Structure 1
Amino acid sequence: MSSSLRRLYEDLRSICVALVYPPGDDCDILMQQLKRIGCRLKIIWPFPAEPPTDVDVILFHLTQEIEGNTIWSASSVASALIALTDYESPTILKLLLDTRAHGVISKPFRSSGILSTLVLARASYSYQERLQGKIDKLESTIKSRRQIEKAIRVLVDSQKMNEAQAYEHMRSKATGLHVTVAEVSGMIIDAHEAMEKLGLKL
């Protein structure tokens, strides 16, 4: 077994999987295979109003009965989502798209296919998390840049500095206070807005 494949199996043995599915033969098949893989397992039924927490993967029963109710979405659940469907229909496909599930397993359930779906769902969730992290960082950078530009305009207007002097002033203060330029710009904007409310000038 290659080192990458070994790491994959070790990862699956360390995860906790929530199985949200009604009792019966189908549930037993899923349980047996998940236990065979080595996952820690939580069996949940009836269907909860909120998705399980503190788990790495959620396998959940997706049926037309949940249409119109709160739909779990991968964008708001801190776990990989795998939908378990009884059959395919336009309604089920629409619900599946709404959940943005990382994987889907359709009946009849078999021991084969569960492992590969787990692997792909985990990989998809990990990629989604990395991508969201990059988006959050980019949005934070854009927000900080806009705030710095706003603070520069405040200093240019109120302190008769040019833009280069205003930025250098903020950078110097940031160094002295051991904070970021964005934090200094926030102080300037807050002070400026407070003075405006009092009818005064900074």
Structure 2
Amino acid sequence: MTTFRLKDLRDLSVIVVHPLDQDGKALLDQLNRIGCRTELVWPPTKALPPGTDIVIAGVFFEWQNELKAMLKKTKASSPTVLAIVNYENPAMLQNVLELGAFAVISKPIREFGMLINLVVARSKWEESIQLAEKSVRLQKKIVAQKNIASAKEIIMELQSISESEAYRVLRSKAMAKRVSIEEMAVAVINANDLLSKGIDRV
């Protein structure tokens, strides 16, 4: 669970992708009152400005491809996206989902709602980043455990020893080489693969 503070918004770069019409001006006015560092971009460009944290984008069917391309070409971590819509239908909903929006603001832009949408969207974005990082760590842990199990099996077969003894051998070799036991397991697997391939060619 993340704790997002109001002052955090003032440290973020907010890009508004919207024409400078009445709604566009209302967006900029509200963001300036909140204290965000804001820049208006229209029409959608090939890529977002470097360091973009939040994107508030008007969803227009005639610009949907350009907007999607603009967001996909971000080199850093994906920004928090808020969508601005003027009506609801299946096609609009699909566009919003494809943009990966964390919040939706309806037109006409009103004074109430911008701040809470920004805070909720950014908080949910931070939670999604944390979950993604946790998932990557878990995947790496699973792979490491599988490698250790495979390396133990190789050592057990080569030295005719028990699983616990094979683990001690693996650990002692890792300590001697000053590498992690996970790295040592990969080295054992690779060496065994090379040996097996060499035997196959004989």
**Shared topology, TM-score over 0.5?**
yes
CA distance in 1, matches of 2:178, 2:136: 24
CA distance in 2, matches of 1:97, 1:157: 52
Q: Give the equivalent residue in structure 2 for 1:85.
A: 85
Tell whether the 8 Å contact from 1:67 to 1:95 is kept in structure 2 after alignment.
yes
Letter in 2 for 1:82: L
CA distance in 2, matches of 1:97, 1:131: 19
Distance 1:51 1:89, change over 3 A: farther
Q: Give the equivalent residue in structure 2 for 1:55.
A: 52
The alignment's C-alpha RMSD in Å is: 2.2
1:66 deviates by: 4.7
More relative contact order in 1 or in 2 (CA 8 Å, sep 6+)? 2
Q: Give the equivalent residue in structure 1 for 2:151.
A: 151
Letter in 1 for 2:157: D
1:16-42 per-position Cα deviation (integer Å, ceiling 9, x unaligned): 101111221211110111111111112
Check if 1:24 corresponds to 2:25. no
Query: TM-score normalised to the size of structure 1?
Result: 0.86
Question: Unmatched 5+ residue regions in structure 2?
Answer: none
CA distance in 1, matches of 2:113, 2:50: 25
Distance 1:69 1:17, change over 3 A: closer
Distance 1:40 1:70, change over 3 A: closer
Query: TM-score normalised to the size of structure 2?
Result: 0.86
Letter in 2 for 1:39: C
User: Secondary structure in 2 aligned to 1:199?
Assistant: helix
CA distance in 2, matches of 1:47, 1:70: 6
Tell whether the 8 Å contact from 1:63 to 1:86 is kept in structure 2 after alignment.
no
1:79-123 per-position Cα deviation (integer Å, ceiling 9, x unaligned): 211111122111101222222311111101112211110000011
> Alignment length, in residue pairs?
193
1:51 deviates by: 4.6
CA distance in 2, matches of 1:158, 1:43: 66
Aligned ranges for residues 128-139 of structure 1 at < 5 Å?
Answer: 128-139=128-139
1:15 deviates by: 1.0
Letter in 2 for 1:26: D
User: Which moves more between the two structures, 136-145 or 43-52?
Assistant: 43-52
Distance 1:70 1:143, change over 3 A: farther
Distance 1:87 1:192, change over 3 A: same
Q: Give the equivalent residue in structure 2 for 1:38.
A: 35
